[in-house]
Structure 1
């Protein structure tokens, strides 16, 4: 029988915020060192955005690839039902979209899906005619 989950310490919360910022900024070396040391690769912010989602949305293809190699879920949706691939397509981050497709991202996952987003903005998904 387990009790209620304890509140994280202020230090742990601050570290999480810093790591989420690293994903946004593309600070791969620092972020990956923490992931390699045991920080969950699918750490999320309060809106359900993973490290990979934040790196993808901000155009850091190298970091997206490294997180995917470490087991990050390339299809995990945030709390609004958005996928990393749809975010990359929305932002016209072609290198990120290519990495996501190569690592197994589903173009039909999420709402709107990456495929729907590509159609709307008249863009092409890597590896497809849409």
Structure 2
């Protein structure tokens, strides 16, 4: 029997710094993050929900902040505790520039959440046609199925996303 080592409770200064770091990602303070990263902050730090810094920056649409994090080695594939990826969040938000940045830095184009949903599916569901077109052009697989057996086209139709539905119908 092995016991897990006990982690000490963080002190007030550690909590303050952690809050500052996550707020910098959430609010797009690229320069503050650049300073912290240059001094050894891990770019793959996660919060209590498993959201990485790049997840927060991408979800809140801070392109330059996400770029800084990726330059310092942030993993664009880190899924949060709900299985969501930065790419799926950017596709959901309709942020084509962020989708491009994440793919250029190694995000898996067909990476899926635990329920099988891919970035293409999120883009299709919310009728983000430019992103659907871009992902298809980059090799996203429109035949993949989620845990309910639905493709991106099926999900677009179900959600009433008419333009994406037509595009994915062929």
Q: TM-score, normalised by structure 2?
A: 0.70
Partner of 2:77: 75
> Where do 5+ consecutive residues of structure 1 fail to align?
none
Offset at 1:12? 0.5
Larger displacement relative to structure 2 (43-52 or 120-129): 120-129
* Counterpart contact for 1:101–1:127, Cα < 8 Å: no
Partner of 2:136: 128
* Counterpart contact for 2:22–2:47, Cα < 8 Å: yes
Larger displacement relative to structure 2 (58-67 or 78-87): 58-67
SS at match of 1:40: coil
Offset at 1:3? 3.8
Partner of 1:88: 90
Partner of 1:118: 123
* 1:11 counterpart (13, 17, 40): 13
Offset at 1:80? 0.2
CA distance in 1, matches of 2:106, 2:55: 14
* Counterpart contact for 2:94–2:123, Cα < 8 Å: no
SS at match of 2:26: helix
Offset at 1:106? 0.9
CA distance in 2, matches of 1:51, 1:79: 14
**Rg larger for:** 2
CA distance in 2, matches of 1:90, 1:26: 19
CA distance in 2, matches of 1:74, 1:127: 16
* Counterpart contact for 2:45–2:52, Cα < 8 Å: yes
